[in-house]
A and B are shown apart, each in its own frame.
Chain A
Amino acid sequence: MIIHHPILGPRDAQEFVYLGDAALIDRPDGMTAGVEVFHDWLYNRDNPAGEHRELWYHEQGDRSWLVVTRNTVTHEITRVELARDVARSKGRSK
């Protein structure tokens, strides 16, 4: 697979490490959310046959965490964003 890194251009998937569903970005606040909420966030994931947003890490590269939108049926990649930008757009900060 080829991942079009938003900064570095097309890169071979071998340079990356895969983590999983980008829903992990929405980490609950540990001081207010309890075990149930954390458990649901950490373990209960969708498993779509189709478009999937997922976290990839450019380990053999610039160490960017990316959100890659990939079709799990065709492997077509339609979008690649810096995870930091996605996290900020979801209101994450410090």
Chain B
Amino acid sequence: MTQSNRISGGQIDRTKTLRFTFDGIPYQGHPGDTLASALLANGVRLMGRSFKYHRPRGPMTAGSEEPNALVELRSGGRQEPNTRATVAELFDGLSANSQNRWPSLRFDAMGINDRLSTFFAAGFYYKTFMWPKAFWEKLYEPIIRRAAGLGSVSREEDPDDYDKGFLHCDLLVIGAGPTGLMAALTAGRAGKRVILADEDFRMGGRLNAETLAVGGTHGADWAAGVVAELASLPNVRLMPRTTVIGAFDHGIYGAVERVSDHLALPAAGKPRQVLWRIYSHRAILAGGATERPIAFENNDRPGIMLAGALRAYANRWGVKVGQRVAVFTNNDDGLRTAEDLKAKGVEVVAVLDSRQGDEVIDTSGRLGLKSIIVRDAKGRTREIAVEALGVSGGWNPNVNVHSHHRSRPVYDPTIAAFVPGAEGPPGLMVAGAAAGVLSTHGALRTGRDAAVEALGLTGAADLPEAEDAPVRIKALWHVAHGKGRAWIDQQNDVTVKDVKLAKQENFTSVEHLKRYTTLGMATDQGKTGNVLGLAIMAELTGRSIPDTGTTIYRPPYTPVAMGALAGRSRGTEFKPFRLTPSHHWAKEQGAVFVEVGMWLRTQWVPKAGETEWRQSVDREVLATRRSVGICDVTTLGKIDIQGTDAGAFLDRVYANTFSTLAVGKCRYGLMLREDGIVFDDGTTARMGEHEYVMTTTTANAVPVFRHLEYCRQVLWPDMDVQLISTTEAWAQFSVAGPNARKVLEKVVDQDISDAAFPYMGARNITVCGGLRARLFRISFSGELAYEIAVPTRYGDALLREMLARGAEYDPIVYGTEALGVMRIEKGHVAGGELNGQSTALNMGLGKMVSKKKDSIGMVLSQREGLVEAEGYRLVGVKPVDPKGKLSAGSHFLEKGAAAVAANDGGWLTSKVYSPHIGCDIALGYLKAGDQKIGRRMRAVNLLSGQDTEVEIVSPHFFDPEGERLRG
């Protein structure tokens, strides 16, 4: 079969032939074809099966409103389900498959649903599958999911790139039909920055699908001429293949540009699609109108289409849909289809104008239209053999984008359709068919006038001559006849019967109608069916259409690929990675990394022969406690705080006092939220009279800085205090262990003996012969420990120097796991305990909250519910049997108590294996835990099946007196 239905004319390049396959069968088409036009040219009308009843379906439209002809395009990682064949641009090598059928499109076993349609009426699953309850999940839902549905997704990763971009202009014109072209031309000639976006690959809109003349020439040629002029203007950006998907706040529009969808593969370095954010104070919606069908029995067979689509295939693509064609219309525009087809030599066997009393009442043809049954004004019926039927029920203005801010369209009886209502998005005007102005002259005029008004231009260009036919329509929504099904929403298989059922069950409001019948809830969002459905409801209830009202539209205008929304934010590029100064050194050592927020931190550094993570971690802990270990702690937030009120400011933001801290010393600080819950902790050093350096946890570096700015600007605007984040400015290493000082003495230029640099000292120093540095004598591990900071670019060098110069002490580098082991051995709180629900009292730090001064959270930390004597307290946990296993998340239960919530005593927050103690240890919050030290309880984890007898101990497992710290 080689393009047996191809006729003369059209905007296709017949000098080139494109090969493609559908369901494995090879076909040929031409550049300029869509998949639908090429298949129709090859005599293929059947392209899919319907969602619920698996009815055979072909294209109903020639545009993005298509409900039926949905196919799976391409294969493998590029497979794209639910692609509308009517907008899929043909390329050489395209492969498409039909979907929602098994085993084949012509014979679909699930077609049985059509025979069982009584059971699948609106609301069927609410009623039919109610009982027994347990059957829903195991039986009904899987069956329904298999039976109903559209295409399938590939499980492979999409190999193409998607991008995002930002554009600014004076005027955004949405749609490049006669209205949009005239608007863009008017604004472009006036020198304004214009973006003209159209979803089609060829600009011109309906002018490409009609035989109408504009300015004495063929409309499509006039459009091509305007496009050429616009392309020559440097201030105009033409964006074909670009759908404006939504109007957002303050003049921001979303648009998807399909950069490479019309190619077999994207060109090198080019994305598949781009999601644009377009900023424009002024926009003109020139989105045209969508034709709607008339509901009659069996109006969904392949070969039955909208009249405008039938002539679009003939005029634009040189395709006749069948040998014998009929037209059924309630308005003058439908008659154009008959005239155009006749002019093309297509045999038009009947023109049925409902205004004359002629109606189509039924059709036949299992896999494609064979005949129609018509009834005349006198009630006489006859059957006419046809292969194609064009149906026109009138045109609905595409008001969608104008409704995105909840503007409700209003009914205009002169065109029997809804037009844009009041209070659309500020700055957005509507012109042409989208505004209900349906003649070509009207489109050109309102397009020009909208541009003039939007931009305040003086003087308007002359308009080319064009037809200005009035709309002559007599509304007809539904042909009343018989008991068969008449489709309204073909994609979701909603019929007139479903609307009747909704009415019968009193779901008469349009919002209920929609949800009860699923009218307009498919991927086409009811572009062809919605108005029909609500008009039929109006008929049934005896209300007027304005009284019945309409649902409104949300973005996106047409479906958007997830890839376009994700853009570059996928895989390892989902977010930026921040690398620590020791990253390159650690990578050389084969370190294992862990994501901590945006940071990639060293988790542990395996040595040769270590096959399991615990071997490395245990070794790092023991080596640190025996001699010395170094850990990169650059990720901790660092904030320089300066000003004459710096001390007073810290007193306000920390629960404890800092204004009394001596210069050259540091102190552990506890920061609360205003609700009395602990926000963050860290050490803050006083480097000078009016200069402090605060550290925060890694996770809260950004939120703490934001909070401090809030306190400084909003709460105490006259405090003399300045903040700057220096997290990235300083590389910082913890050097811990009995030999920590000895290693540091190899690099630090000054005397750091215990006498010269005591516990909790903080000072500006130099290293390696003059490099400025900071040294803090603080410990998170319970060991003699320091944190040393140098400008970030020297971090790598400092680490290598310390390891080389201190080699005699066998320094090791430890990662976040060993860090966690040592802090838990020492009973320091971290992520598991700083969980956003715990108070200082819970952590055993209640005395740190000074009541002698006002500080954030001080007052509300005293709330009755937060100061209960029986509340949670931080405890240490050890298994009674050293081989016993603990897990974070286990719950405390008394011995013999049932594992139910009523007996819950609290939970384990953090757990590690302590090589020092030789068993699992944990921290936890236990009700009245401070009164239960020494008690035996159980740690129960129902998820992992653990039920371990434990002893409640002090959280300070290691060196509780702190002698090592001060050594």
Contacts and interface: CB of A to CB of B under 8 A. Distances in A.
Interface of A: 1-2, 13, 17, 19, 24-25, 27-31, 33-35, 38-39, 42, 55, 57, 59, 63-65, 74-77, 82-84, 87-88, 92-94
Interface stretch (B55-63, B236-244, B855-863): B855-863
Contact of B710 (A34, A39, A57): A57
B860 A87 contact: no
Contacts of A28: 859
Interface of B: 248-252, 279, 405, 426, 645, 648, 674-675, 702, 706, 709-710, 713-719, 853-855, 858-860, 862-864
13 contacts: A13-B249, A17-B706, A30-B855, A34-B859, A38-B674, A39-B863, A57-B706, A57-B710, A87-B717, A88-B717, A92-B714, A94-B648, A94-B719
A24 B713 CA distance: 12
A57 B854 contact: no
B706 A59 contact: yes
B860 A1 contact: no
Given A27-B715, A83-B714, 5 more contacts: A57-B710, A63-B709, A92-B715, A92-B716, A94-B645
Given A1-B250, A34-B859, A39-B860, A87 B706 contact: no
Contacts of B853: 31
A24 B859 contact: no
Contact of A31 (B706, B710, B854, B860): B854
Q: Which of A17, A30, A87 gathers the greatest number of chain B CB atoms within 10 Å? A: A30
Contacts of A42: 674-675, 860
A65 B709 CA distance: 8
A29 B854 contact: yes
Contacts of A29: 854
B706 to A, nearest CB: 6
A22 B858 CA distance: 21
Contacts of B249: 1-2, 13, 75
Contacts of B252: 1-2
Given A2-B250, A25-B714, A74 B405 contact: yes
Nearest to B866: A35
Contacts of B250: 1-2, 75, 77
Contact of A65 (B426, B648, B713, B858): B713
A57 B716 contact: no
Given A1-B249, A35-B860, A35-B863, A64 B718 contact: no
B253 to A, nearest CB: 13
Nearest to B703: A17
A55 B714 contact: yes
Contacts of B709: 57, 63, 65
A45 B440 CA distance: 55
Given A2-B250, A35-B863, A38-B860, A87 B675 contact: no
Contacts of B717: 84, 87-88, 92-93
Contacts of B648: 94
B132 to A, nearest CB: 43
Contacts of B674: 27, 38, 42
Given A30-B854, A88-B718, A94-B718, A19 B859 contact: no
A29 B645 CA distance: 18
A63 B707 CA distance: 11
Nearest to B277: A12
A7 B76 CA distance: 51
A68 B702 CA distance: 22
B675 A84 contact: no
Contacts of B854: 29-31
Contacts of B858: 30
B715 A87 contact: yes
Contacts of A77: 250
Contacts of B716: 92-94
Given A17-B706, A77-B250, A87 B859 contact: no
Contacts of B248: 1
A35 B859 contact: yes
Contacts of A33: 859
A87 B859 CA distance: 21
Q: Which of B250, B251, B714, B854 gathers the greatest number of chain A CB atoms within 10 Å? A: B714
B705 to A, nearest CB: 8
A24 B330 CA distance: 62
A94 B644 CA distance: 12
B706 A64 contact: no
B598 to A, nearest CB: 14
Given A30-B859, A39-B860, A84 B645 contact: no
A33 B645 CA distance: 23
A50 B706 CA distance: 28
Contacts of A76: 426
Contacts of A59: 702, 706
Contact of B713 (A2, A13, A34, A84): A84
Given A31-B854, A77-B250, A93-B717, A38 B710 contact: no
Contacts of B860: 35, 38-39, 42
B692 to A, nearest CB: 17
Given A42-B675, A75-B249, A75-B250, A65 B718 contact: no
A84 B714 contact: yes
Contacts of B863: 35, 39
